[in-house]
Structure formats: C-alpha cells, structure tokens
C-alpha cells in the first residue's frame, strides 16, 4: 500500500455538516457546483491524489531536483506524471474564476481538494502554480497583457513563481536591492539576485512567469519603494509566440533537509543578457499586489502542513492497530498474558489522541477560514468584516498550523518506535518535508508579530472582539443536552486567559522604561499559539454539538464510531490543551527584560 492516507470523511463532515456549504452550492457565483457535484469532485481528487500524486512522493525525494546545462532545472519523472494528471484532469480550474475558465468552485471546496493533493505530494501541487498566479495577476493588467500572459499561464500550463527574497535581506523584503530601469520601449530591465525561490525553474512547462519585486529607478527605500514586474523565462512576443531566452537564470540550487523534489533556486537577473520585465500595476505599489500572492501562499503552507500531519497520523494509527507488542498494562505482571496491539497501551493512545484532536482541529480552522472566503465571494452585507476576520485567521492557519504539525509529526514517528526512524515508513520524510513550513512565507515569529501588530492592534481589537463574542456564545450555549458542560466551561476560561494576555500586551506599550516593545516581542509567538488554540477549541466544540445531534439520530455502527471520535477530539482538546493557556498567561504577565539585558556573549 502507498504512503498516503486521506480523511475524506472528516473533510465532508466539516463542509456539509458543520459549515453547511450545501446551502449555497449551486447558487450565485457557485451555480456550476451543486452539492452532488462537489462531493464527486472530492472523491475523484482523492483518487488522483492517492494514486498518481502519491506514486511520485518517495521517488521524488530520492531523486530530487538537479541543475543541468545552462541553469536548467530537471525535476523527477514522478513529479512530471503528477503534473500531467493534474492538468489533463483540469483540476486547476477549481481555483479559477469563471471568466478565466473556472469551475465555479467555492474556496472551501478548492482548499479541501488542495489538502488531498498536498497530503499526497506537496511538491507536485506547488509546481502547478501558474493558473493560480494568473488569477491574481488578471485584475491588474489590461486586455493585451491578459491575452499575452494570463491566458497562456492557464491554457498552456505555464509555471509561475513569487520572487521576493534576496541573499542579504532575508525576511526583510524592504531591504531588497534588485533594481528595475526603464528600457524606453515600454519594458524594464531588472538587475539583481534573488534567493530561496520555490520552483524558480523546472523542465516541465514551456515557459515560466516570475512575479518579481524590484525597486524602480528613482524609488525610495523600504517596501513602499517596491514595484511588481512580470519577468518571463522566455520573452513573450505581442502575438503570444515565445521569443528568445530572457536574462533570468538559475545560478544555484539549495541542498535542503527535505522537500527535495521542489527546486529552491537562486535567480540572477540581467547578468549577461538583459532581464526584460513588464510593470504590473503602478510604480511603488508592488508590495500591495504581492500581498495577494503572499496571503494565498500562507494559506497554502498551512494547508500543506496540516495535510502532512493528517496522513502521518493515519499511518501511525494503522501501525498501532497492527503492531503487537507487550501485554495490556493491567496484566503487566502476568508473564503468560497475551500480547496486544500497541493501540491498547495508554501512552500510545495518548500520542494518537494528541494527533487526532489537533489535526481535526486544524483542518476545521483551515476550512472555517475558507468558508469565510466563500461568504465574501457571495457578496453578503458583512463582506468587509468577513475579510478582516479572514486576515486575522491567516497567521493562525500558517503559523500555528506549521509549528504544531511539525511538532506532532515527531509524535507520529514516535508512535512507530524505531521503525518510524527508518525509510520503510514515510514519517522520516514527512518530518523533513514539513520543517520548511515553519520557515517560508514568513517564519512563525513573523506570523506572531503580524497577528498582534497588523491584525489585532490595527483596528483596536474590533475584529478579534467580534470573534471572541461568538466563542463566548458557544461557551454559554446549551446544545448537546448538557453533555458538553465541562468543555464549555473550559472554553470560557480560555477566553478569559486570552483576554488577559491581550490586556497585558497592550499594557506593555506604556512601559515606563520605553522598552515595552521588547516585552511585546518576547510574547507574540505565545499569543499566536494561544489564540489559535482558543479558536480551534471553539471549532471542535461546535463540531461536537453537531456530532452529538447525529448520534441521537441513531447512525450506523461505522458512523457512530466517527461521531464518537468527533466528541472525543473536542473533549481531549478542551481538557488537555486549553488549560495550558492559563500557564502561558501567567508567564506572559510576568515578562521582564532579563533576556534582552543579557550580554550577547552570555548566550
């Protein structure tokens, strides 16, 4: 059996039973995608992901991407087979608007399908970025550029990259030194070096379009002086034909810990041949446009991380059911006692439940966030408030999703004991592949700062306050006939803990030493983790309400087990995870500056 194990039942539970997307599928902007069609799409995506995508997972890691010839990147055959299946099946149309040939799919369905593809082989889906980036560029260009770039990026299956990072600047995008000079013919010439560019070149598509941030001549420093340019690998003539090789070349390929099938490149612009580019939007407005790409990428990374944890957990669960070792703990003193499957051992069950509760909670977070994007597309009266809530949740999806998934993948491996450390099982690759999720598209530290300074403080907590009100309503609710009374009480306590953390952080602004920002900076990651767990606890309690109602209706034995598992996840998370917020709050409130005052040499 292949490595990949999906959880389509839980995806369907989220979409159709909890979020009730069936109520608006087949209507408005989603008229082409009725509930039955949506279910069929997910079933077929699961088949393609579990077969073709998954087949290239291990071989892609063993072969890796490599440089050949003049800066050309060769990718593994298994990845190419997955790309063939993805584009031949036209799965890229799920994420496209109808005017670009899209399938009229809501974002919730698109992200659910993405989880299936990413769980099977993330590198393959990441190479298929051309159509997704085309949709982002589309509203920023005129009809001529749309015909010249956007349409072929979709219909001719071109690749695409987001090009921000530079060797010396790292995450400080505003420190970038790549420059763009007007060429006098409507084009620009770019010069500079970019590093850590995901899939900066590969030998599957006929062309690749780089979305590059560069500083136009005469522009000022920082992010406000950056503009966005389309820089193709092969120049695209006005009639749409491909011209000469452009002056953007791969000069290096990173030797990475994991995700080896994905080419992480250093790109040089204009070293020997001019790197010709076209301005997108207005001069100095590039960071605003690029943020649409960044937000998409952060959602993708969070979904990727959670998808990997899901298959890691399900593999560990399967192993635990089959691996027989040791007697039941209650019979440990009896040497004649029968050996049992390790799933019967308390500590193994603890590890499995830790994984189950978290992965189901984080999947709920992703799909709840995606459902907000559905409602924004529907054009409801509260679309602006929904957009702000979506922005608030993105650092949780990416930051918490990636950190916790990496941490728990180690627990997945641990469940297998020594076997997990060997390549006979996929966990060592899962773990290596997942670490990057905490690093790219903004490290966890950056996500924590983004959450507090840009998403909470920017509107004086109004967006968060509205979300907390909903969480409190659930904590004070009575659905489930009292069966969730303890869970609701713990959820209410967690709300108080997060509110206490926020009050302390806001109070640090008034630190008489003038160094309150240090005290805040020491705690933004803690806030990110705590707020994420509060939201996840809320979502799991809501799921438990739905599950209890389903159990009362007398489901089949298999469905009963599923719904009992949903209630168990909510109980475990609220009882074992949420109480930790009280300790974090106490630590945060007592923050001093001893770490900041320590001489560097003392470290």
Catalytic residues: 441
Three-state SS at 248: strand
Q: Name 82's Cβ contacts closer than 8 Å, sequence gap at least 6.
A: 52, 53, 55, 56, 121, 124
Question: How far apart are alpha carbons 441 and 434 in whole angstroms?
Answer: 13
339 sits in which H/E element: strand 339-341
For 167-230, the three-class secondary structure string (H helix, E strand, C coil) is: CCCCCCHHHCCCEEEECCCCCEEEEEEEEEEECCCCCCCCCEEEEEEEEECCCCCCHHHEEEEE
Could you give the angle at the alpha carbon of 424 between the alpha carbons of 422 and 426, nearest 5°? 85
Question: How far apart are alpha carbons 446 and 455 in whole angstroms?
Answer: 12
Per-residue CA distances from 507 to 298, 510, 513, 529 (Å)? 30, 6, 13, 20
Question: How far apart are alpha carbons 385 and 456 in whole angstroms?
Answer: 13
Question: How far apart are alpha carbons 563 and 547 in whole angstroms?
Answer: 5
Q: What is the DSSP letter of 573?
A: I
Taking Cα atoms as reference points, which of 137, 138, 130 lies closest to residue 158? 130
Q: How many CB atoms lie within 10 A of CB 117?
A: 25
587 sits in which H/E element: helix 580-589
Strands 242-245 and 234-236: antiparallel
Question: How far apart are alpha carbons 43 and 502 in whole angstroms?
Answer: 43
Q: Do 505 and 520 contact (CB within 8 A), yes or no?
A: yes
Per-residue CA distances from 91 to 154, 225, 409 (Å)? 11, 37, 28
467: Cα separation from own chain's centroid: 21
Q: How many CB atoms lie within 10 A of CB 264?
A: 21
Could you give the angle at the alpha carbon of 533 between the alpha carbons of 105 and 529, nearest 5°? 105
Q: Name 412's Cβ contacts closer than 8 Å, sequence gap at least 6.
A: 309, 312, 313, 315, 316, 355, 420, 427, 430
- Phi, psi angles (nearest 5°) of residue 381: -65, -25
């Amino acid at each position: 059996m292949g490595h990949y194990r999906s959880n389509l039942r839980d995806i369907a539970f989220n979409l159709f039973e909890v979020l009730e997307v069936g109520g608006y599928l087949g209507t408005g902007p989603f008229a082409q995608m009725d509930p039955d069609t949506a279910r069929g799409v997910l079933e077929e995506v699961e088949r393609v992901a579990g077969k073709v995508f998954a087949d290239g997972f291990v071989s892609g890691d063993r072969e890796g991407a490599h440089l050949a010839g003049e800066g050309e990147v060769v990718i593994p055959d298994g990845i190419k087979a997955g790309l063939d299946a993805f584009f031949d099946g036209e799965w890229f149309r799920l994420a496209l608007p109808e005017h670009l040939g899209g399938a009229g799919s809501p974002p919730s369905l698109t992200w659910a399908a993405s989880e299936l593809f990413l769980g099977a082989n993330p590198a393959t889906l990441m190479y298929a970025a051309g159509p997704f980036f085309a949709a982002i560029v589309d509203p920023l260009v005129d009809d001529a550029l749309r015909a010249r770039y956007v349409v072929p990026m979709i219909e001719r299956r071109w690749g695409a990259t987001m090009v921000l990072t530079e060797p010396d600047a790292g995450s400080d995008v505003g420190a970038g030194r790549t420059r763009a000079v007007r060429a006098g013919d409507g084009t620009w010439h770019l010069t500079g070096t970019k590093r850590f560019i995901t899939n900066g070149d590969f030998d599957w598509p006929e062309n690749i379009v780089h979305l590059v941030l560069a500083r136009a001549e005469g522009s000022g420093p920082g992010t406000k002086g950056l503009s966005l340019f389309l820089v193709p690998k092969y120049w695209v003539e006005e009639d749409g034909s491909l011209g000469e090789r452009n002056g953007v070349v791969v000069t290096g390929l990173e030797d990475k810990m994991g995700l080896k099938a994905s080419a992480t490149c250093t790109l040089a612009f204009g070293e020997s041949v001019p790197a010709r580019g076209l301005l997108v939007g207005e001069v100095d407005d590039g960071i605003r446009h690029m943020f649409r790409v960044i937000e998409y990428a952060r959602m993708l990374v969070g979904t990727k991380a959670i998808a990997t944890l899901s298959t890691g957990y399900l593999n560990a669960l399967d192993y635990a059911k089959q691996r027989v070792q040791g007697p039941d703990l209650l019979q440990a003193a009896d040497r004649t006692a029968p050996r049992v499957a390790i799933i019967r051992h308390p500590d193994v069950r603890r590890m499995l439940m830790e994984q189950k509760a978290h992965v189901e909670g984080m999947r709920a977070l992703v799909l709840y966030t995606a459902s907000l994007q559905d409602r924004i597309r529907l054009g409801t009266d509260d679309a602006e408030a929904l957009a702000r809530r979506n922005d608030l949740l993105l650092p949780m999806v990416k930051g918490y999703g990636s950190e916790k998934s990496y941490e728990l993948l180690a627990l997945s491996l641990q469940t297998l004991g020594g076997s997990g450390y060997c390549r006979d099982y996929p966990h060592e690759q899962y773990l290596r592949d997942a670490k990057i999720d905490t690093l790219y598209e903004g490290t966890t530290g950056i996500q924590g700062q983004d959450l507090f300074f840009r998403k909470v403080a920017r509107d004086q907590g109004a967006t968060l306050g509205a979300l907390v009100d909903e969480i409190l309503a659930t904590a004070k609710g009575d659905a489930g006939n009292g069966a969730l009374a303890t869970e609701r009480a713990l959820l209410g306590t967690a709300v108080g803990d997060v509110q206490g953390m926020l009050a302390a952080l806001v109070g640090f602004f008034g630190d008489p030493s003038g160094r309150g920002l240090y005290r805040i900076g020491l705690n933004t990651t803690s806030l990110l983790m705590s707020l994420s767990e509060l939201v996840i606890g809320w979502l799991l309690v809501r799921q438990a309400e739905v599950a209890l109602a389903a159990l009362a209706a007398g489901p089949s034995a298999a469905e009963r087990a599923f719904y009992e598992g949903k209630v168990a996840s909510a109980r475990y998370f609220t009882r074992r995870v949420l109480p930790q917020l009280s300790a974090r709050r106490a630590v945060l409130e007592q923050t001093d500056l001893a770490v900041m005052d320590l001489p560097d040499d003392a470290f």
